[in-house]
Structure 1
């Protein structure tokens, strides 16, 4: 389907003038806490639709989001009164900041107060990236919430599986630590302690300090600088603590439309797609279900250029080239007219072009199994379209004292040489003895893999627990192994992340691993590869059942016969 070209809209001088003159707006909550916001209104009398942005990063510096999303001037030019509110305990607002804890109640109170303002015409939309997306979900899942539309950018409705932990229950050290230090630095900066803020930022960006002792020393620092982080680490299972601050379970209450924007290399990528899918199928009304849209680019959490040191997806890959600002504007101002707005807009890597479809993944996409098989010659272990009749196995050794390191992928960090997010070449890791690569034959025709991938592996081990980390790559004829997506599963959580199950050394256990989402065209001569290892650190923690002992270990992946380990790959119909 051809991508429509959305014309740019010039920003009138009146919008620029309005953007320079905010008005203070205060809300007194039932417990006496005062939330403060800046309001930017179009010039001239009257009432307007409101665009609400609730942020913990200071209402005066909202546009720290990736370039090419939108601008304050554009939102005012589209006719909105724009409200930037500091959430509880941040910026100019009173109270104590505990991530996610108060956002439902505070968001609902804010909506009620806005409806009482003479400059609000009763129509309220929301917008924001990352944590600003969490604050939107917190409002829209409340029954009867007066939100018309929401623009969710690089975010998730579930903080456990979408942020702090993998869907398989492994703590995300890199992304969680980085965020906690950033919040601590922001609080220090707000308090005027610039030296403390600089110190915390330095820790967050230096692997040598942050990852010493397996990354665990940071818990002591964060207990002081971000005390809420202790709860994040201690609640390792998805228990009542996480259920209370998760919004995905309440999607059947949502009546607002949603534009879900994400990047293939953002750590919220799987959540962007799953939230779109869940609301498309299960929102409270037909209008809300029909009002869900998706945009996925070859981007990270903080960069929408599509350009990486390891790979350049071309000049057309950026948000600016797509015209994302105009897509957002079309969504928020559509008033029922959706002809110019594709249901799903996504960048197909490999072909390096934008695609649109009536759903995501495209209708007709099928999950094709590729079965793991041990090496039979010098070509290495294989991925085959059919399982072997007789069973076999592959041993995967690992040493927690020398973990397989993270190289690229879906990360929060940018600028840390070896942990940069993105499509990093994996050959350095594939040369290790503790990484086992399974590779298909060369594709004879172009094959498009679009959607969610999943590994189903049958594992045995003599250890009390083990992690199985899987990285998916596109292997070019020159040997470059470009990362597409990844995931990790914990054997003790194979039956669910809300409880642990014993690992029996005498049994073979089935482990399902969520590998995330991607869209990639494998050109003729290319190969699909998965790399299997016992760790992916510091993207994910080292298994706590093994880390203290620092003893080398191994697990066995069983293949063929009754234990046919495989990867489910979504193959689009155009293939």
Structure 2
């Protein structure tokens, strides 16, 4: 029992830390080394929000004077060297890239409370980016996991200041992502995630007795057993799975107001897979703007939360086609929407799926697939693996 619980605790921490990698590191490591002479960088620009709080933003732009489309990434995981490489890569390709610490994290002012300020702060940041002297006025969002949320909450307000979104490892409404998803199984991971973000920089849990923290009682004091008192944790545990409480932090129903095109990229093994599939389905069939229904694409690969990170997941090797040229896909997406490039992206199939077993990609026109054949499976407690 103790061995299992120790292993489980380690897995929970590993999953928690993977959230910090999904948008920045997993993608940025693939970019080619930048030529510094082609890029100008301004660090720690203070971007004012409507309430006077200033958010720290690093801006990468082509050295040649001009007005360029802008890609904005907003992160609670701090502006790491991976973001620096990503910013320079985009600037070399004719974009301004702005990466911002969300409110209360890194060098930004204010206090971090997950999701509460992302709609207003996102809108203010996009409006700011659209009105700079180096901006063409076309602004897109970029990011994964929480970085996808930072795009979706502003988009759900129906504002047209966001030209396009690129969304990876997209979580659904928060009550279905943490802490009460899967019957409360995500509670320990939620506590660890909040503890790692309890402050302006990453907080290590390496010296914490995780087994004792997760198994102790009472539940609401798990934060103290992790070494800190966390108001957000206490709010969430006190609220329980109350629909009324979580409705105030949700976005999916309101997202139907969005007119912003979206490229949704997820993995079959991502715990929050349904965020991408549900949103894609809703936007292509129920978006209130009929034109918006034609402006969404979905990619599902054989990946976990770290999108496109490896051809292997655990002991399973999905073959050489498992890892795609994600840089090229992203560039073509933004070139089409932000630069008006006639590159045919709008004519591509709306859905691209990696088929398990055959280990090959297929193209479809909708999700769920119209020609799906449903097969019943019957499970029993004494059974073994499904083959």
Verify same fold: TM over 0.5. Answer: yes
- Equivalent in the alignment of 2:332: 330
The 3 A distance-change label for structure 1 pair 19 and 139 is farther
> Aligned-pair distance for 1:226?
3.1
Q: Pick the structure with more helix per residue.
A: 2
Is 1:212 aligned to 2:215, yes or no?
Answer: yes
> Aligned-pair distance for 1:145?
3.2
Name which of 346, 353, 360 aligns with 1:353. Answer: 360
**Match runs of 1:111-126 below 5 Å:** 111-126=126-141
On the 8 A contact 2:45/2:58 being kept in 1, the answer is yes
On the 8 A contact 2:78/2:105 being kept in 1, the answer is yes
- Equivalent in the alignment of 1:260: 264
Q: Deviation digits for residues 415-464 of structure 1, max 9, x if unmatched?
A: xxxxxxxxxxxxxxxxxxxx443x8xxxxxxxxxxxxxxxxxxxxxxxxx
> Aligned-pair distance for 1:257?
0.6
Is 1:42 aligned to 2:65, yes or no?
Answer: no
Is 1:173 aligned to 2:187, yes or no?
Answer: yes
On the 8 A contact 1:12/1:77 being kept in 2, the answer is no
> TM-score when scaled to structure 2?
0.81
Is 1:110 aligned to 2:116, yes or no?
Answer: no
- Equivalent in the alignment of 2:241: 237
**Match runs of 1:446-461 below 5 Å:** none
> Aligned-pair distance for 1:240?
2.8
The 3 A distance-change label for structure 1 pair 142 and 292 is same
Q: Deviation digits for residues 51-70 of structure 1, max 9, x if unmatched?
A: 01111111244549xxxxx9
- SS of the equivalent of 1:59 reads coil
> TM-score when scaled to structure 1?
0.56
Measure, in 1, the Cα distance between the counterparts of 2:40 and 2:357.
Answer: 43
The 3 A distance-change label for structure 1 pair 260 and 32 is same
On the 8 A contact 2:169/2:305 being kept in 1, the answer is yes
The 3 A distance-change label for structure 1 pair 133 and 225 is farther
- Equivalent in the alignment of 1:52: 72
**Match runs of 1:417-436 below 5 Å:** 435-436=381-382
Runs of 5+ consecutive residues of structure 1 not aligned to the other structure: 1-8, 65-69, 191-196, 373-380, 382-434, 440-472, 476-575
Name which of 151, 154, 164 aligns with 2:169. Answer: 154
Q: How many residues align?
A: 351
The 3 A distance-change label for structure 1 pair 73 and 363 is farther
On the 8 A contact 1:295/1:345 being kept in 2, the answer is yes
On the 8 A contact 1:279/1:292 being kept in 2, the answer is yes
**Match runs of 1:5-154 below 5 Å:** 16-19=36-39, 21-61=41-81, 63=83, 71-154=86-169
- Equivalent in the alignment of 1:362: 369
Name which of 293, 304, 307 aligns with 2:312. Answer: 307
- Equivalent in the alignment of 1:274: 278
On the 8 A contact 2:169/2:273 being kept in 1, the answer is yes
Measure, in 2, the Cα distance between the counterparts of 1:10 and 1:55.
Answer: 19
> Aligned-pair distance for 1:239?
2.5
> Aligned-pair distance for 1:189?
4.1
Measure, in 2, the Cα distance between the counterparts of 1:172 and 1:11.
Answer: 37
The 3 A distance-change label for structure 1 pair 83 and 219 is same
On the 8 A contact 2:263/2:298 being kept in 1, the answer is yes
On the 8 A contact 2:172/2:274 being kept in 1, the answer is no
On the 8 A contact 1:50/1:120 being kept in 2, the answer is yes
- Report the structure number with the largest CA radius of gyration: 1
> Aligned-pair distance for 1:259?
0.8
Query: How large is the Cα RMSD of the aligned pairs?
Result: 2.9
Q: Pick the structure with more strand per residue.
A: 1
- SS of the equivalent of 2:100 reads strand
On the 8 A contact 2:140/2:164 being kept in 1, the answer is yes
Q: Deviation digits for residues 154-180 of structure 1, max 9, x if unmatched?
A: 1224111134332x6535134323322
